Structure 1
Amino acid sequence: MTGGCKVEEHEELYQLRKLPIKGILSVVTSPRALLAFVVSPLIVALLGAASRGDVFLYAVLAWLKWDDFGITTPSFLKKVGNATEEATKNISAGRDAMTTGLDGLLHHYRLDNVHYIVASAILFSYVIFFGLGGFLQWHYYIQKKDSPSSWKCQPNRFLTTHLHRQEVLLGAFNLFLGASLSGVLATLVLNGSDITTLYFNVADYGWTYLIVTTVLTFLFQDASAYYIHRTLHWPYFYKKFHKIHHRYYSPTAFGAVAMHPAEFLTLQFALVIPMFTVPVHFVSFLACVMYSYYYGMIDHSGIDLVAFWPWQPPVRFHDDHHKYFHVNFGFNTLIFDRYHDTLRKKTRFYSEAIFGGKGAQAANGRKEE
């Protein structure tokens, strides 16, 4: 898709909603609405985590560190007098001396049973990805295909069968990469390697630290996504890498991970940097990651939704990025697009050939192709 789209006039352009207090009260007072309000985002966030392949790693971390979760007693006090961990290390050291060959090499690097764990991570992710993703696709793109104006951001544009198949297959390949890496990390964790800086007990650092690091983690992830994404829209990187993602001019949820593998790994690495560098509570980090995964899927769904949270742009914001190309680079806030003046404007014209995020004057004789 190389042509431009003439800017449409909207009454409101990416208006962030106020926190819907009345809506919250109506949800809380209705058990059925409350269940849907809680379960639906969790399902989509789980789908997003599965599409990146690291859902298995978080499950393993939660399972192994379950006894470390707490609020009042610091972890170092809970572990006083616990000889189990030391005994495990001694047993492990004895096994090191007895194991030879490939098994010995794997054990030396704490990769025992890596093949089984990686296979489990891949299978786990694929079941969720195709199960939940397939349901969402069926519910909207098949059941409601005859009435797209009631739910779709671009009601007159659908991916061709070829592009949609390509979108799913490319996303599935990137899922394979992500799940494989997740499986290796999960193997290290299961074999006693303390590779993350995540902590599990609130009392270790206190509530103030937890709140501040949660906010900073969220902002770091959003800033990283913005600047990496904008860099990918420089002419060289766009033509070599990011153009693949923009083939899907009217994306579906599967398109969230349908991109060049190098781009996928770069974005994924940036997202998880905090869990390997600074102490962040497991729950707060998981909340930030799952939030990003949830809106990553929703923002690529093509479904015209307005976010519940007052800082989150509507789905149309990112859908317009796919429609107009080099504009609207942010994801979970408008902070960086506003600061750099890269929000789409009604008075500007955008196309795949106009780089920089500013567009061109709309009254320059260009017409929609």
Structure 2
Amino acid sequence: MLAISALKSSLLTILTVVVGCALRGDIVLIFLLLTQSIKTDFEPNRVIDNGSSPQQSDAIKGASDLPLDVLFFVTTSIVSSQGILIVVSAYFHYCYYVARRSEAHEWKCQPRRFLTPENAKHEIGVGITNMTLLGVVSGLTATYVYRGGQTTLYFDFSHRSLLYLVLSTVAFFFYVEAISYYTHRLWHTPYLYKRFHKHHHRYHSPTAFASVAMTKLEILLYQSYLILPLFGWFEIYAGAYVVVLLYIYYFGLVDHSGVKMESWFPWQPPSTFHDNHHEFFHCNFGFNTYFFDKLHNTLRQEHRRYGEDVFGGHGKPEK
């Protein structure tokens, strides 16, 4: 029984990672970066251009001059992401929201609250629309990398020291967490919340689709600061970049799933942390650590009052 339970847990984790990537439209980009990295690592004599992008053969360069590669990468990004998302999300929905709906008190973050049929349809519709948009962005980025465009990625594991690899990976992770926290708080200022971010918070008890169900301005800005390091301030190993993306996408999906899940990483909050953000609105702005919420005292506190009209992140004293 323990072996079966462990197998189911492992399968669920893998599916969550896959659908997390699908939600961002990055299946093809991640596959391309991984294959480029693995191919370079197993070809020690391969020449690297400025430590960033491997030189391509003349045949590949000739083929990549055709606009068909753009069509291929964009179309593949959209189709693969949509297909994987629909199939895997249907599995999640059945396992929890259908088969175990009567046991919601055991697995659901908000066991007494479910999305209305209208909001559920809206969440899926906006999510799929935004996924298509992200698929275009990801496909264009994949095309650029495939064509040997200059980036700060390096594909040869031995290009930098192991210490540099660790430090640059941690730096990228905290860059994402910092910019996520501060932009998220910015969206929760009265004007921007009422004008834009309120649309995301109509899903008081979210499901996985909510992780990309927001305005197009928000989703494009979010995706842009994940892509920005490719052209940024320091070199980062392609494999490490992919690992951080997978981590972020996995927990982004888990945090919006509505399912109670704990993390095996000590710095990662449980899924109830972000679910509380949807339930109580202006608190718990971080995603992958408690650090910035603790620094700015924006963690939800039991004996304070929160609500959609209570801005600032600190709540109000209970009456």
Question: TM-score, normalised on structure 2?
Answer: 0.91
Q: 1:44 aligns with which of 4, 11, 16?
A: 16
Moved more, 301-310 or 246-255: 301-310
Distance of 1:342 and 1:56 partners within structure 2: 37
Alignment match, 2:212: 257
What is the CA-CA distance between 1:38 and the residue it aligns to? 4.3
Distance of 1:354 and 1:65 partners within structure 2: 48
Q: 2:41 aligns with which of 62, 66, 69?
A: 69
Q: Does 1:271 align with 2:226?
A: yes
Alignment match, 2:293: 337
Q: 2:197 aligns with which of 242, 246, 267?
A: 242
The answer to whether the Cα contact below 8 Å between 1:70 and 1:200 also exists between their aligned partners in 2 is no
The answer to whether the Cα contact below 8 Å between 1:111 and 1:188 also exists between their aligned partners in 2 is no
After superposition, the C-alpha distances for 1:335-360 in whole angstroms (9 at most, x for unaligned) are: 00000000001121001001000111
The answer to whether the Cα contact below 8 Å between 1:248 and 1:322 also exists between their aligned partners in 2 is yes
Distance of 1:197 and 1:39 partners within structure 2: 34
The answer to whether the Cα contact below 8 Å between 1:252 and 1:302 also exists between their aligned partners in 2 is yes
What is the CA-CA distance between 1:318 and the residue it aligns to? 0.5
* Unaligned residue ranges in structure 1 (runs of 5+): 1-29, 96-105, 364-369
Change (3 A) 1:70 1:164: same
Identity %, equivalent residues: 36
SS at match of 2:94: helix
Question: TM-score, normalised on structure 1?
Answer: 0.79
* Unaligned residue ranges in structure 2 (runs of 5+): none
After superposition, the C-alpha distances for 1:226-268 in whole angstroms (9 at most, x for unaligned) are: 1111100011111111000000000011111111111011111
Q: Does 1:321 align with 2:277?
A: yes
After superposition, the C-alpha distances for 1:173-211 in whole angstroms (9 at most, x for unaligned) are: 110000011112222333x23243211222100101001
Q: 1:177 aligns with which of 128, 133, 150?
A: 133
After superposition, the C-alpha distances for 1:50-96 in whole angstroms (9 at most, x for unaligned) are: 1011121121233345420259x5854899xxxx846448x73xx9x
Give the CA RMSD over aligned residues.
2.4
1:72-151, aligned counterparts within 5 Å? 73=44, 76=47, 85=56, 87-88=58-59, 92=62, 107=65, 111-151=67-107
Q: Does 1:348 align with 2:317?
A: no
Distance of 1:348 and 1:271 partners within structure 2: 34
Moved more, 31-40 or 302-311: 31-40
The answer to whether the Cα contact below 8 Å between 1:112 and 1:187 also exists between their aligned partners in 2 is no
Change (3 A) 1:86 1:127: closer
After superposition, the C-alpha distances for 1:306-360 in whole angstroms (9 at most, x for unaligned) are: 2111111111111110000000000000000000000001121001001000111
Change (3 A) 1:78 1:272: closer
The answer to whether the Cα contact below 8 Å between 2:37 and 2:239 also exists between their aligned partners in 1 is no
What is the CA-CA distance between 1:275 and the residue it aligns to? 2.5
Distance of 2:68 and 2:222 partners within structure 1: 29
Q: Does 1:218 align with 2:176?
A: no
Distance of 2:309 and 2:315 partners within structure 1: 10
Alignment match, 1:233: 188
Runs of 4+ in 1 over 6 A off after TM superposition: none
Alignment match, 1:165: 121
Structure of higher CA gyration radius: 1
Distance of 2:48 and 2:153 partners within structure 1: 18
SS at match of 2:101: coil
Distance of 1:282 and 1:74 partners within structure 2: 18
SS at match of 1:343: coil
What is the CA-CA distance between 1:111 and the residue it aligns to? 3.7
Change (3 A) 1:336 1:175: same
Q: 1:204 aligns with which of 151, 159, 170?
A: 159
- State the aligned residue count: 313
The answer to whether the Cα contact below 8 Å between 2:280 and 2:308 also exists between their aligned partners in 1 is yes
Q: Does 1:194 align with 2:149?
A: yes
After superposition, the C-alpha distances for 1:143-184 in whole angstroms (9 at most, x for unaligned) are: 111111111111111000110010011010110000011112
The answer to whether the Cα contact below 8 Å between 2:153 and 2:230 also exists between their aligned partners in 1 is yes
Change (3 A) 1:77 1:252: closer
Change (3 A) 1:316 1:128: same
SS at match of 1:158: coil
Distance of 1:75 and 1:362 partners within structure 2: 65
After superposition, the C-alpha distances for 1:26-56 in whole angstroms (9 at most, x for unaligned) are: xxxx765665554432221111111011121
